[in-house]
Amino acid sequence: MPEPGGPDPVPQSAPPKLWSVEEANASLDRLRELLPQLKAWAVRLGKVHAELQRLSQFWGKELTAQDIPDRDLKLRLEEEWKRLTARLEGEVKRLEAEGITVKDLENGLVDFYSRRRGEVVYLCWRRGEAEVANWHPLTGGFRSRRPLEGKGRAAPTARLGHDR
């Protein structure tokens, strides 16, 4: 059950949207803006985690005591952790609900569900590439990606982005 005021959960049985190459390319401007923000949140989460670990190692079991000098810092860091985690997970879940899978934030690697010759596959894009020009099977990864046919782009079956 969703938290009051929180987003409705995505039904697990609902198939993801299937993207055409054109639709995937049209979403790249948004992803070029969003991915650096997601990466920044992940980097900050790493720093918050490291600082919480440092406090835990320094104070040990006393870290939970009411009178330690670093108590306010610990509480602020824990709140920041919760807030950043919720934002990052929320954005990733929104993308997944659209049929977009973030594979690697560090490299900006993103896959879009699509259909190619009757098979559901991933259209593959990495930050820095001008457009979606590769695909790979769902069971494969970045190393198994192959170029799309015809001028670097395939012509997936008509209106695939509207299949559900």
For residue range 80-121, what is the model confidence (pLDDT) as tens digits?
Answer: 999 999 999 999 999 999 999 999 999 999 999 999 998 999
Task: Report the 10 Å Cβ neighbour count for 82.
Answer: 11
pLDDT below 50 — which residues of the chain?
Answer: 1-13, 151-164
b/e 120-159 (16+ beta carbons within 10 angstroms → b)? ebbbbbebeeeebbbbbeeeeeeeebeebeeeebbebeee
Beta strand 134-137 with 100-104: parallel, antiparallel or unpaired? unpaired
Whether residue 94 lies inside any domain: the answer is yes
Quick one: which of 38, 5, 40, 26 has its CA closest to 98?
26
Adjacent-strand bridge partners of 126: 109
Domain that holds residue 83: 21-162
Specify the 3-state DSSP secondary structure of 132.
coil
Q: How many domains, in total, are found in the chain? A: 1
Note whether residue 15 is domain-resident. Answer: no
**pLDDT for res 4:** 44
Q: Does residue 2 lie within any of the structural domains?
A: no
Mean pLDDT over all residues of the chain?
Answer: 84
